[in-house]
Chain A
Amino acid sequence: MTTTERPETLKTGPATSVEQPQAAEIEREFTVKARSQREQIMRRFLRNKQAMGGLLVFAVVLLVAWAGPLFYGFEFAQVKPADASVGPGTNGHILGTDGLGRDLMANIMRGVQRSTLTIVVAVAISLFLGLLVGLLAGYYGKWIDNVLMRLVDLILTIPLLVLLIVVASNFPDARTAIGIAVIIGLFGWLDLARILRSQILGLREREFIEAAHALGASDRRIMFKHLIPNMLGSIIVWATLTAATVILLEASLTYLGFGVASDTSLGRLVADGVNAAQTRPWLFYFPGLMLLVIALCINVIGDGIRDAFDPSNKRVRA
């Protein structure tokens, strides 16, 4: 039983006879780069192929919509009776024209511009209202929480589309992209308020909040410096998914006759094209597909962000 019979065995002590790796290999270390939480989330997101694909397509769409009109030959409002209702490819109209001879590509670019504006405005308003109500209800609790959440439940008993129609019918002058955005924004905060409120109810009990209290932090400071940063994940996911809902709602409202009237918007193009499906299919397909692609991209990006914020997600390695 001498240890000299096995030259690889290290003399590590009387009890061990385990084979150790060569001396050179022991010195190799595994290092893990220290990554902050934000970096980890970014890495998970960037590695999600679907989300990256969606982001790429969305970026291309936005680029073409905002930069395209600078290079394109036709204006969206330019009426050309001579070229009315021609198909894609004729006379330089890449996607064809509508009944008044307005170029479809130019209108789609303009429509995407207006619709993205609608999304941004509506989500901003909903975000503000949702944060306000969610923070008040979650942080102060008790009767404020009760009253606000009951109010949210009550508003939710009316189907959202119908509620928007009734409100929109009151303001016939607000039928622009921004006007409709404001109306949608006024009612889009309901589920955000619920989500934030339940998250705050949980966060409120954590030690770092208690510590902040003990150090004399004001309520506002706690809300802005401690609570909101911890809820950023939910907020961003909500924002992207609501963005998709907003653009679809705007289209539905316009189709029913209560949406955008005095402005171009993607929803308006789709709604107007619905009736031309048989006779002028390009007016039906292109706006519809564009709307579908945008909503699809936003949804995929939103799902990617949600997966990125979830550390237990097994699909993408961090």
Chain B
Amino acid sequence: MFFYTIRRLLSSILVLIVSSLIVFGLCVASFNPLEPFFLRQPQPPPEVFAALREQYRLDDPFFVRYWDWLTGVLTLDFGESNAGTPVGPVLIERLGVTARMVVAAMVLAILLAIVVGVLTAVRQYKPEDYFFTFLTYVLIALPTFWFAALLKEFVAIQFNELVGQRILFTLGEQSPAIEITGSSSEIFWDRAGHLVLPTISLAMLSFAAWSRFQRASMLDVLGSDYMRLARAKGLPWRHALVRHGLRNALIPLTTVVALGVGLIMGGAVITETVFVWHGMGEYLIASINADDLNPVLGWLMIAAFFVIAFNLIADLLYAVLDPRIRLS
């Protein structure tokens, strides 16, 4: 198990390094810091361009630039944006904001997927099964931003009116200046109120896909020999279901969840745009529109890091949960 872990860890680091090379190449080819200056009227004289090329070191060979950037990243220095502000601290701060939404959405999606997947598998072909199957079909076919806008425009207002108080918020990740004026419990509840709708809209797509997968996995387990033996030897249904069935059915879900991280990150960008959160998504879109090289590089590296990290965790978790993998 130990050597398996070490092997997977080394392999992941290698993938991360090669991925950084590809990401760097892609971004350098896509973003030219001089772009905004070309569009200025009147165009600045050639000396300005030469000075800018010096400043951004655009004339250095590709691998020199790559090495400079990579050594910076390894010391957590992501360079500066075109305007001169350091990228690192901004990324970290916005990562915290986005992480709230992403983590909450993943937890919600996993819990719901397990509950609904098991329910529809155990009650196959009954009305609950048909209802949830229909629901998941619809959720998979729904554009995320349309659903988020639907929640934003209709659920939030109706719910707030129903309760009589402003509980659900639709704009931003917290009320302005609450960090200055509010106590820590006020800040917490304010943030929670802002978190509800984005989390729901982000979680729905993943929940739908994962619950269908969990249903199929549970059906496989329910039809297996060891389940039949557990019932035959007299175990109560619930006991057999949870202790023997569920434990086995959850294992494939770990892989599916790990592979879904990339999709959730993409969904987070959309959800942040709909709910106007000042997180990673907004930062990425703004930086791409401004042809800003370093922020986009930092963003993509952090995204790649999390995707690779989640894949590694999934592999290790799979080995922990399924002894057959560990011992092979």
Contacts and interface: CB of A to CB of B under 8 A. Distances in A.
Nearest to B305: A157
A154 interface: yes
A271 B143 CA distance: 10
Nearest to A284: B149
Nearest to B14: A150
B23 A158 contact: yes
Nearest to B138: A296
B18 A162 contact: no
Interface residues of A, number: 39
A156 interface: yes
Contacts of B153: 277-278, 284
B285 interface: yes
Given A157-B15, A158-B300, A169-B30, A255 B145 contact: yes
Interface stretch (A105-113, A136-144, A216-224, A244-252): A244-252
Contacts of A59: none
Interface string B16-30: 101100110011011
B284 interface: yes
Contacts of A271: 145
A248 B179 CA distance: 38
Q: Which secondary structure dominates where chain B touches chain A?
A: helix
Contacts of A248: 141, 143
Interface string B237-267: 0000000000000000000000000110111
22 contacts: A154-B19, A154-B22, A157-B19, A158-B19, A158-B262, A159-B265, A159-B269, A161-B267, A161-B270, A162-B300, A165-B288, A166-B26, A167-B30, A244-B140, A251-B145, A255-B143, A274-B145, A274-B146, A288-B150, A292-B138, A292-B143, A300-B137
Interface of A: 150, 153-162, 165-167, 169-170, 244, 248, 251-252, 255-258, 267, 270-271, 274, 277-278, 284, 288, 291-292, 295-296, 298-300
Given A158-B303, A252-B144, 20 more contacts: A154-B18, A154-B22, A155-B22, A157-B15, A158-B262, A159-B266, A159-B269, A162-B300, A169-B30, A251-B143, A252-B143, A252-B270, A258-B288, A277-B149, A278-B153, A291-B143, A291-B146, A292-B143, A296-B137, A296-B141
